[in-house]
């Protein structure tokens, strides 16, 4: 696993667009069906827009109909960290980049086989390579 990346809020603001900062550093959510990662591709890796950590393989992507990119598992077991999120009157599992703690989205237990998981991820948190 890579070492944790720590930056000041000003450094993050200089590196990210206002929307990327709002979602990744302030735990925001982009509007559904507005991102550019909703259409499945045939190959590639989605990296963290903040630090470049490899997060998701496109082969693990599926169309969930939610309006956000969805994956059934991360690219590697240690790519994503999890935190209980009780905001907005709900109990959910937050998905965060394991390297820079960027907010990615949430994980739900209603995904397809083989894992049964749905990683519902904000597209502005991802860059495809």
Which tens digit of pLDDT belongs to each residue from 72-114?
Answer: 999 999 999 999 999 888 899 999 999 999 999 999 999 999 9
pLDDT tens readout for residues 3-49 = 899 999 999 999 999 999 999 999 999 999 887 665 556 678 999 99
- Residue pair 120/107 in contact by the 8 Å Cβ criterion: yes
pLDDT tens readout for residues 38-79 = 555 667 899 999 999 999 999 999 989 899 999 999 999 999
Give the pLDDT score at 26.
97
Give the pLDDT score at 34.
85
Give the pLDDT score at 48.
97
At 97, phi and psi to the nearest 5?
-65, 130
Q: CA 23 from chain center: how many Å? A: 10
97 occurs within a structural domain:
yes
The residue annotated as part of the active site, out of 24, 48, 50, 120, is 120
4 occurs within a structural domain:
no
Residue 95: beta bridge partners? 82, 105
Give the pLDDT score at 41.
61
Q: Which domain holds residue 63?
A: 9-128
CATH number at 37 reads 2.170.150.20
Sheet with 54-57: list strands edge to edge.
Answer: 54-57, 45-48, 126-128
86 occurs within a structural domain:
yes
CA distance 2 to 9: 21
1 occurs within a structural domain:
no
87 occurs within a structural domain:
yes
- Residue pair 117/72 in contact by the 8 Å Cβ criterion: yes
**CA-based radius of gyration for the chain:** 14
Q: How many domains does the chain have?
A: 1
Give the pLDDT score at 19.
96
113 occurs within a structural domain:
yes
50 in active site: no
């Amino acid at each position: 696993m890579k070492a944790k990346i720590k930056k000041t809020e000003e450094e993050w603001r200089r590196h990210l667009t206002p929307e990327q900062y709002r979602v990744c550093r302030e735990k925001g959510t982009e509007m559904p069906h507005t991102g550019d990662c909703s259409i499945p591709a045939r190959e590639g890796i989605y990296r963290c827009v903040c630090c470049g950590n490899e997060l998701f393989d496109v082969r693990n992507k599926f169309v969930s109909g939610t309006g956000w990119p969805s994956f059934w598992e991360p690219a590697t077991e240690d790519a994503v960290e999890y935190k209980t999120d009780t905001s907005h009157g709900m109990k959910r599992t937050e998905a965060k980049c394991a390297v820079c703690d960027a907010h990615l989205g949430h994980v739900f237990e209603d995904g397809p086989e083989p894992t049964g998981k749905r990683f519902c991820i904000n597209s502005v948190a991802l860059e495809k390579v």
